[in-house]
Amino acid sequence: MDVIEIIDKKRLKQELSYEEIKYIFEGFLNDEVEDYQMSSLLMAIVLNGMTDEEIFALTDIFINSGDVLDLSNIDGVKVDKHSTGGIGDKTTLIVAPIVASLGVKICKMSGRGLGYTGGTIDKLESIPGFRVSLSEEEVIRQLNDIGIAITSQTKNLVPLDKKVYALRDVTATVESIPLIASSIMSKKIASGADKILIDIKVGSGALIKNERDAKHLSDLMIKIGKKYNREVRTLITDMNTPLGKAIGNSLEVVEVASILRGHGKDTYLFEVCVELASNLVSMALNNSLEDAKKMVLENINNGQAYKKFVEFVKRQGGSLNDLRVSNKSRVVRSDKSGIIKNIDALKIGMLSASLGSQLEKQGDKVDYTVGVVLHKKIGDIVNYGDSLCTIYIGDKPYRNPLDAFTIEEFNS
Ligand code: URA
């Protein structure tokens, strides 16, 4: 087989066979195919797409490139949830304790922030003492004991995706629905859960910018799940504005605790979390979405979900009492009176990242205490001088984020 012929075939929109995909991708993993050749193939895929058969083949080759987690020693159905990522997305930390408090076992391997979207592992690391890295044995024991474990990768799962993703990140080849579907689903299948819920975020602060692409991604993920005998459900949720009020690691953990204590029931964050948790519960218990939702709301209201969150944090060594947010803050005030029409998720995410809440380059250190707390939401009326948000700052210079708020003046 010839690498150049394979790339050329994709350029000419011809279907690649399983063997051809295996040859070029495994060659890349083994350093036999150069970065520039893989970049060229990836760009041809971005432009010309992939057939379902090609997507299944790539997913299979990704899965087989590393270890697969065996959760068969854990009793009962194991569920997993994944979000395609967004600004202020702390849903895992809310949803996982809710479902675990209802006896549904949830094992979640999470990642760090990517681009401007925060990662669950960074958020958990903001809790002093929290251990984000568990061994496979610890995960299994913890799941059997308390029904919930969130860890960074325990094994060498899907190393090929890791290498391909790093190249996609610097060659403008991330935004390909077939590549995203294979990348995410290979990791979910290798992580071992029986039932998988995918939250596809759509909007300015997300990887997927429109509903059509979200629907396409959803169809592909469900089809891939079927191939591996896994039930996959998807939800398509909004990411044009940040999810919730807090953006930044420890600030988001504070918001998680507040939601789990039943505050913010009128917010979109609460609504999305209840929707996600209800879907997971109904998948695991095979009951209706309506019944599952009643159970979810009951366990938020009776304190069981929050109790499970505290138990989980303690079990992984964290001390919520020692959680810190920066003691240096600035309030950002409106320079006009009117109605808030938009709060740009990407701009707020970029601000939070620039304060140090995420790694911008290798060697940086995350400042867990910085970030932004929004005081207003879309549709709110503001007067001149009203506070729009508070920025929690650390050592880095900060930029006024007024341009993230679109305010329509009353007389315009
Ligand atoms: N997240 C992933 O893990 N892979 C992608 O391709 C995109 C988002």
Distance 243 CA to ligand 1 centre (A): 19
pLDDT score, position 115? 67
107 lines ligand 1 (CB under 6 A): no
Instruction: List the CATH number of the domain containing 42.
Output: 1.20.970.10
**Residues 166, 217 within the same domain:** yes
Confidence of residue 373 (pLDDT cuts 50, 70, 90): very high
191 lines ligand 1 (CB under 6 A): no
**Residues 249, 313 within the same domain:** yes
Q: What is the mean pLDDT of residues 86-107?
A: 95
| Residue of 78, 74, 146, 121 lying closest to 304 (CA atoms) | 146
| pTM of this structure | 0.92
- In a 3-state reduction of DSSP, which class is residue 114? strand
73 in a domain, yes or no?
no
**Residues 38, 96 within the same domain:** no
Q: What is the mean pLDDT of residues 392-406?
A: 93
Adjacent-strand bridge partners of 236: 200
**Residues 285, 357 within the same domain:** no
223 membership: H or E segment, kind and range: helix 211-227
Residue at a domain's end among 256, 287, 321:
321
82 in a domain, yes or no?
yes
Distance 183 CA to ligand 1 centre (A): 6
d(C-alpha 80, C-alpha 92), whole Å: 10
Residue 168 alpha carbon, nearest atom of ligand 1: 6
299 in a domain, yes or no?
yes
| Residue of 409, 408, 388 lying closest to 400 (CA atoms) | 388
Which position has the higher pLDDT, 299 or 114? 299
**Residues 146, 272 within the same domain:** yes
Q: Is the pLDDT of residue 412 over 90?
A: no
pLDDT score, position 205? 82
201 in a domain, yes or no?
yes
The mean pLDDT of the chain is 94
**Residues 44, 155 within the same domain:** no
**Residues 190, 115 within the same domain:** yes
153 lines ligand 1 (CB under 6 A): no
Ligand 1, atom 7, lies closest to the CA of 180
- In a 3-state reduction of DSSP, which class is residue 304? helix
Q: Is the pLDDT of residue 361 over 70?
A: no
Residue 187 alpha carbon, nearest atom of ligand 1: 3
180 lines ligand 1 (CB under 6 A): yes
Distance 305 CA to ligand 1 centre (A): 29
33 lines ligand 1 (CB under 6 A): no
66 in a domain, yes or no?
no
Instruction: List the CATH number of the domain containing 357.
Output: 3.90.1170.30
Q: What is the pLDDT of residues 241-250, one digit of tens each?
A: 999 999 999 9
Ligand 1, atom 3, lies closest to the CA of 184
Residue at a domain's end among 321, 351, 381:
321
Instruction: List the CATH number of the domain containing 263.
Output: 3.40.1030.10
Q: Is the pLDDT of residue 296 over 70?
A: yes
**Residues 305, 345 within the same domain:** no
d(C-alpha 271, C-alpha 410), whole Å: 30
Distance 363 CA to ligand 1 centre (A): 22
273 lines ligand 1 (CB under 6 A): no
Residue at a domain's end among 299, 321, 343:
321
Alpha-carbon torsion, ordered 304, 305, 307, 311, to 10 deg: 130
**Residues 28, 166 within the same domain:** no
**Tokens coding 299:** 């366990």
Q: Is the pLDDT of residue 381 over 80?
A: yes
Q: Which residues contact 369 (CB under 8 A, 6 or more apart)?
A: 126, 248, 249, 250, 324, 325, 326, 392, 394
Q: Is the pLDDT of residue 293 over 90?
A: yes
| Residue of 248, 270, 242 lying closest to 125 (CA atoms) | 248
Confidence of residue 204 (pLDDT cuts 50, 70, 90): confident
Q: What is the mean pLDDT of residues 276-290?
A: 97
pLDDT score, position 32? 97
- Helices (H) and strands (E) in the chain — how many of each? 15, 12
Distance 84 CA to ligand 1 centre (A): 7
Q: Is the pLDDT of residue 360 over 70?
A: no
63 in a domain, yes or no?
no
Q: What is the pLDDT of residues 315-327, one digit of tens each?
A: 999 999 999 999 9
pLDDT score, position 112? 73
Q: What is the mean pLDDT of residues 152-164?
A: 88
Q: Is the pLDDT of residue 170 over 90?
A: no
**Residues 191, 275 within the same domain:** yes
198 lines ligand 1 (CB under 6 A): no
d(C-alpha 106, C-alpha 78), whole Å: 6
Catalytic residues: 82, 161, 168, 183, 187
Burial of 48: CB neighbours in 10 Å, binned 0-12, 13-18, 19+: middle
**Residues 280, 134 within the same domain:** yes
- In a 3-state reduction of DSSP, which class is residue 208? strand
Q: 128-137, 165-174, 368-377, 378-387: lowest mean pLDDT where?
A: 165-174
57 in a domain, yes or no?
no
What is the domain range of residue 163? 78-321
**Residues 144, 265 within the same domain:** yes
Confidence of residue 119 (pLDDT cuts 50, 70, 90): confident
Q: Would you tell me the crossing angle of helices 211-227 and 177-190 to the nearest 10 degrees?
A: 40
Q: Is the pLDDT of residue 207 over 90?
A: no
pLDDT score, position 393? 97
Question: 143 with 109: CB under 8 angstroms?
Answer: no
Chain mean position to CA 280? 16
54 in a domain, yes or no?
no
| Residue of 289, 199, 191, 184 lying closest to 238 (CA atoms) | 199
DSSP assignment of 132-164, as one string?
----HHHHHHHHHHHSEEEES--S-B-HHHHHH
- In a 3-state reduction of DSSP, which class is residue 111? coil
Which position has the higher pLDDT, 87 or 315? 315
Overall number of domains in the chain: 3
